[in-house]
Chain A
Amino acid sequence: MDNNKNIQSILREELEKEIPSSQIELWPAMKASLAAGKRPLIHQGENMNTMKPRRISWAAISTLIVVALLALAFITPQGRSFAQSVLQFFTRAKQDRYPLQTWQMTPPVQSTSESPFKFSVQEAESLAGYDVLSPVDIPFGMSFLGASYDTQYHIVAQAFGSDAGYIELSLWQQPLEYYQPCGDISNYCDNMLGWNLVGASANLEIVQIGDLTGEYVEGTWSLTENGPVWDPTPYVKTLRWQTDQMIFELVGGIDLLDRDDLVALASSIR
């Protein structure tokens, strides 16, 4: 038996002593939670601060009330209309499905196959002329793949993901003075941060990022041969927020990151 097998055998033995297999029975609790329509158990980190009772500030209570009202507002058609009026960063389209758009029939020719994520953060910063912010902790299993700079819209994007080059997370930022929404879906738009349209049925959530408010949505437009269709896939997650000078967008594309992960990442950028 090789050494790894020896260690494995000892580990299994010790773990069995610590938590016997016969005592592990997850299904009854899971079944009960699923039957009750609850997502079982933790939202990671939730039950870690049970030792210290926390003082809830009035600011936090006010925020909770506002968030609750906004959540309520999304339930009714009138509420949705109201909610759209208070959305800051996304724009809700009038429908989820559109006919084939002119710009779909004449897709732009790619001038190069070279990845735009070819710069270091420092290089992107020097091209952009502003501070480029990055998450303090890159998610486990990912690495920084590179940064890009869009000279037309002054957008810096950073890509993170597997070393095979598959992008699993990207962070976009643009000075507010250059921000310009693309508008209606009929407009061709290569302004990546200006493209803020989501489907009529998109489930938008207001989230708190430190002292700032952000908006979170799962889904993306699927460009079918019959036209753009809003696909509420949880596989594409987008979080938008802004400071007094800059607009940011985090886009996660894998199932290992959830809303709270994106919020934590957004809170950590420096």
Chain B
Amino acid sequence: MDDRIAISRLKQGDLNGLEILVDRYQVQAVHIAYMIVYERALAEDVAQTAFVKVMEYIQQFDEERPFAPWFFRIVVNDALKIATRQKRSVSLEDQLDEPVARLAEWLMDPGLKPEQLIEQKETHENILKAIRSLLPEQRAVIVMRYYLDMSEVDMSAKLERPLSSIKWWLRDARKRLYDLMRTKAEGE
């Protein structure tokens, strides 16, 4: 059953429609939220709350529009609200060891010898740590850029921010990692 049929059912008050959407999108929703709030229980709460919002606002949703981008925007925004209120930032000075620094370099410039980094086990182990070290808004941008594979133009439309802002966030996220990496390198 495609999304439109599930949404149509939900609009008629049939909770099976919601169950289908939950079943289809729950994993991505929890993973996206986790990359922003970095706490599993909270990530699951965010995902569930987002599904409840879907139920509450489904009558206003245009079935001709794709469901996933609309839904993931709710997840990203809700996770961001929580992450911002938590002010749960990680001190990079404590976290940034050499593998993370290399990964940071890659995130700054993904064109930089990716094949070498991809083969390294540390890259895999540290990627979540590297993202966690960013500010919540920067995490959201990285999530949308890399996890949801949205183009900068798509992200601009979904976040309703000008393209220049999205680019600025990406650049700022990379610069922050780069600056901290340099601080770490100079300290050694």
Q: Which residues of B contact A18 (CB under 8 A)?
A: 34, 40, 128
* Docked CA distance A166–B157 (Å): 13
Contact of A6 with B85 in the complex, beta carbons under 8 Å: no
Beta-carbon nearest neighbor of A161 in chain B: B160
Chain B interface category by residue count: 35 or more
B113 to chain A, nearest CB (A): 10
B147 to chain A, nearest CB (A): 5
**B30 at interface (Cβ–Cβ under 8 A)?**
yes
Number of A-B contacts (CB under 8 A): 136
**A30 at interface (Cβ–Cβ under 8 A)?**
yes
A211 to chain B, nearest CB (A): 20
Beta-carbon nearest neighbor of B136 in chain A: A140
Contact of B146 with A163 in the complex, beta carbons under 8 Å: no
Contact of B81 with A44 in the complex, beta carbons under 8 Å: yes
Contact flags (1/0) for B100-129 with A, using CB distance below 8 Å? Answer: 000000010011001000100001110110
Beta-carbon nearest neighbor of B77 in chain A: A256
* Docked CA distance A256–B124 (Å): 33
User: Contacts A3-B110, A45-B85, A140-B140; is A11 near B127 (CB within 8 Å)?
Assistant: yes
Contact of A26 with B48 in the complex, beta carbons under 8 Å: yes
Which of A33-41, A62-70, A96-104, A147-155 makes up part of the contact surface? A33-41
Contact flags (1/0) for B10-31 with A, using CB distance below 8 Å? Answer: 0000010011001100110011
* Docked CA distance A200–B50 (Å): 31
B140 to chain A, nearest CB (A): 7
Contact of B84 with A137 in the complex, beta carbons under 8 Å: yes
Known A24-B26, A141-B161, A142-B160; further 7 A-B contacts with Cβ < 8 A: A8-B149, A13-B124, A26-B48, A42-B46, A141-B159, A163-B162, A256-B77
Q: Which residues of B contact A (CB under 8 A)?
A: 15, 18-19, 22-23, 26-27, 30-31, 34-35, 40, 42-49, 51-53, 56-57, 60, 73-74, 77-78, 80-82, 84-86, 107, 110-111, 114, 118, 123-125, 127-128, 137, 140, 145-147, 149, 159-162, 165
Q: Which residues of A contact B (CB under 8 A)?
A: 3-8, 10-15, 18-19, 21, 24-27, 29-31, 34, 39-42, 44-45, 47-48, 137, 140-143, 161-164, 166, 168, 234-235, 255-256, 261
Task: Give me the 4 closest cross-chain CB pairs, A-B, nearest first.
Answer: A3-B110, A162-B160, A42-B45, A7-B146
Q: List 24 A-B contacts (CB under 8 A).
A: A3-B110, A4-B110, A5-B149, A10-B124, A11-B35, A11-B146, A14-B125, A19-B40, A26-B30, A26-B48, A42-B42, A44-B85, A45-B81, A45-B82, A48-B86, A140-B77, A140-B80, A142-B160, A143-B161, A161-B160, A168-B160, A235-B60, A255-B74, A256-B74
